[in-house]
Amino acid sequence: IVPAAVGLIVLRVPIVQLLFERGAFDERATVMTAVAVLFYSIGLVGFATNIILTRGFYAFQDTATPVKLLSVNLFLNLILSVILMGPMAHGGLALASSLSALVNTVLLVWYLERRLPGIWNAGWLRFMVAVLLASGVMAWATLIANNFLAPVMAPFGLFGLVAQVSGAILVGVVAYALSCIALRFEEVYLLKRGSSQILDGVRGFITGRSR
């Protein structure tokens, strides 16, 4: 989720242009929508994580705690929306939703830790730091690729915009993958092992059919 959020933040303008900028949806509308995408992307990790954490409480047959925390989340969202809407307009509403979601994540983690002591340990902290580092490298590579491709592809209209966004995303994905390998993510080796097993199975099937 973190890489997806970072990618949306970096490429928010060209993505909105590609999806919506035509007809009455002009450049000004693109800028306004990109502001909302920016602030919603900040809370993307919270939005996704809260769904998973809530199911953890359901596994304990505890529906009361998530509902109570949701009530706190809604109240906080309302307060932050009122505070931020004035100086930040619609961006403030998006930021309020993201901040309240992240606060809800912290509360869910805290309450779940009380039920499962030790579930959040130093290993999780190291993993999150590594993800942030890899996402930072991805953001840097994606930004450079986008800034390079934007003027090159501008004369080609919609096709150029598709190539710009696709190229920047591809560079970002490669940069993130290489960063994960460099940081020795366990998931990389699990994926490699699983891919090898699948390829071995396919080879065995083909060899058996050929006989």
The 10s digit of each residue's pLDDT in 143-178 is 999 999 999 999 999 999 999 999 999 999 999 989
Domain ranges of the chain: 1-118, 121-210
**Spatial separation of the C-alpha atoms in residues 36 and 91, rounded to whole Å:** 5
Q: Output the CA angle 175-198-208, nearest 5 degrees.
A: 145
Q: Which of 23-27, 121-125, 133-137, 168-172 has the lowest mean pLDDT?
A: 121-125
Summarize pLDDT for 23-73 with one digit per residue, the tens. 889 999 999 999 999 999 999 999 999 999 999 899 888 899 999 999 999
**Sign of the C-alpha dihedral computed for residues 128, 134, 138 and 141 taken in this order:** positive
Report pLDDT for 126: 82
**Spatial separation of the C-alpha atoms in residues 43 and 48, rounded to whole Å:** 9
Report yes or no: 165 and 11 within 8 Å, Cβ to Cβ: yes
The tokens for 32 are 């306004």
